Amino acid sequence: MPATLHFRSFCSNSAGNCLALWTGQTCVLFDCGIGTLRDCRDLLRRQHGLLDPVAALIVSHAHRDHLSRQALRVMGEQAIPIHCHRKVLPQLRERNGLDGRTSSPLRAFGDEGITIGEFRITPVALSHAPDTPCFGFVVRAALGNRRRRIVIATDFRNPSTLLPHLRGADFVFLEANHDVELLRKHFNYASQWHLNNGQAASLLARAFAATGDAPGRTAPGNVVLGHLSEDRNDDSLALREVRRAFARCGVKPGFELETAPKYQPSRIIEIV
Ligand SMILES: [Zn+2]
Q: 216-227: per-residue pLDDT in tens?
A: 457 899 999 999
The model's confidence at residue 105, banded by pLDDT at 50, 70 and 90, is very high
**12, 71, 153, 229 from 225: Cα distances, Å:** 9, 23, 10, 11
Rounded to the nearest angstrom, the distance between the alpha carbon of 134 and the centre of ligand 1 is 8
Rounded to the nearest angstrom, the distance between the alpha carbon of 235 and the centre of ligand 1 is 20
Q: Which amino acid is at 164?
A: P
Chain-wide mean pLDDT for the chain? 92
**Which pLDDT belongs to residue 48?**
62
Task: Work out the average pLDDT over 89-114.
Answer: 91
Rounded to the nearest angstrom, the distance between the alpha carbon of 95 and the centre of ligand 1 is 14
Q: For residues 237 and 231, what is the distance between their CA atoms, to the nearest angstrom?
A: 12
Among 40-54, 76-90, 126-140, 235-249, name the one with the lowest average pLDDT.
40-54
What residues does the ion ligand 1 have nearby, CB within 5 Å? 63, 155
**Hey, is 232 helix, strand or coil?**
coil
**Which pLDDT belongs to residue 215?**
45
- CA 166-119-43 angle, 5° bins: 100
Rounded to the nearest angstrom, the distance between the alpha carbon of 19 and the centre of ligand 1 is 15
**Which pLDDT belongs to residue 270?**
96
Q: For residues 103 and 17, what is the distance between their CA atoms, to the nearest angstrom?
A: 25
Among 31-35, 52-56, 139-143, 239-243, name the one with the lowest average pLDDT.
52-56
Rounded to the nearest angstrom, the distance between the alpha carbon of 191 and the centre of ligand 1 is 10
Q: What residue segments make up the domains of the chain, in order of their start?
A: 1-111, 157-261
Rounded to the nearest angstrom, the distance between the alpha carbon of 84 and the centre of ligand 1 is 14
The model's confidence at residue 211, banded by pLDDT at 50, 70 and 90, is low
Task: Work out the average pLDDT over 85-113.
Answer: 92
Q: Which pTM was predicted?
A: 0.95
**Which pLDDT belongs to residue 103?**
81
Instruction: Identify the CA nearest to 137 among candidates 39, 254, 262, 19.
Output: 19
Residue 133 and residue 87 in contact, taking contact as beta carbons nearer than 8 Å: yes
Residue 208 and residue 220 in contact, taking contact as beta carbons nearer than 8 Å: yes
Rounded to the nearest angstrom, the distance between the alpha carbon of 78 and the centre of ligand 1 is 25
Rounded to the nearest angstrom, the distance between the alpha carbon of 47 and the centre of ligand 1 is 25
Residue 212 and residue 251 in contact, taking contact as beta carbons nearer than 8 Å: yes
Rounded to the nearest angstrom, the distance between the alpha carbon of 2 and the centre of ligand 1 is 37
The model's confidence at residue 24, banded by pLDDT at 50, 70 and 90, is confident
Q: Return the bridge partners of 202, or none.
A: none
Rounded to the nearest angstrom, the distance between the alpha carbon of 225 and the centre of ligand 1 is 16
- DSSP H helices, 103-234, are 159-166, 180-185, 197-204
Rounded to the nearest angstrom, the distance between the alpha carbon of 145 and the centre of ligand 1 is 36
Residue 10 and residue 40 in contact, taking contact as beta carbons nearer than 8 Å: no
**Which pLDDT belongs to residue 47?**
66
- CA 35-37-41 angle, 5° bins: 115
Q: Return the bridge partners of 84, or none.
A: 59, 108
**Which pLDDT belongs to residue 216?**
47
Rounded to the nearest angstrom, the distance between the alpha carbon of 68 and the centre of ligand 1 is 12
The model's confidence at residue 85, banded by pLDDT at 50, 70 and 90, is very high
Among 5-9, 102-106, 226-230, name the one with the lowest average pLDDT.
102-106
Rounded to the nearest angstrom, the distance between the alpha carbon of 153 and the centre of ligand 1 is 11
Architecture of domain 1-111: 4-Layer Sandwich (3.60)
Q: For residues 199 and 152, what is the distance between their CA atoms, to the nearest angstrom?
A: 16
**Which pLDDT belongs to residue 23?**
92
